[in-house]
């Protein structure tokens, strides 16, 4: 595994256009990973709800718990 500093040094050797393309690619990959995490969290939440591990509550009840 390369270190972060080594990676930055390698990026510095790229042309400006290549650096921009790399940045765009990284942004897309990060967005895809975030979406995958969100999908997994929603799936797990639905499974918990289906098992009866959680119940729907009102916004007021949530806010009351937060303020407590």
List, in order, residues 6 or more apart from 11 with CB less than 8 Å away: 19, 22
What average pLDDT is seen over the chain?
94
Query: Which pLDDT belongs to residue 54?
Result: 87
Q: How many residues does the chain have?
A: 68
Average pLDDT of the residues in 14-40: 98
Compute the Cα dihedral for 28, 31, 37, 39 and give only its sign: negative
In the chain, pLDDT over 70 holds for what percent of residues?
99
Domain boundaries of the chain, sorted by first residue: 15-67
Structure tokens of 4? 């972060």
Q: What is the pTM of this model?
A: 0.69
């Amino acid at each position: 595994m390369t270190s972060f500093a080594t990676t930055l040094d390698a990026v510095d050797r790229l042309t400006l256009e290549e650096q921009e393309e790399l940045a765009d690619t990284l942004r897309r990959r990060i967005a895809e990973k975030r979406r995958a995490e969100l999908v997994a969290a929603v799936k797990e939440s639905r499974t918990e709800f289906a098992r009866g591990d959680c119940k729907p509550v009102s916004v007021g009840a949530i806010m009351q718990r937060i303020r407590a």
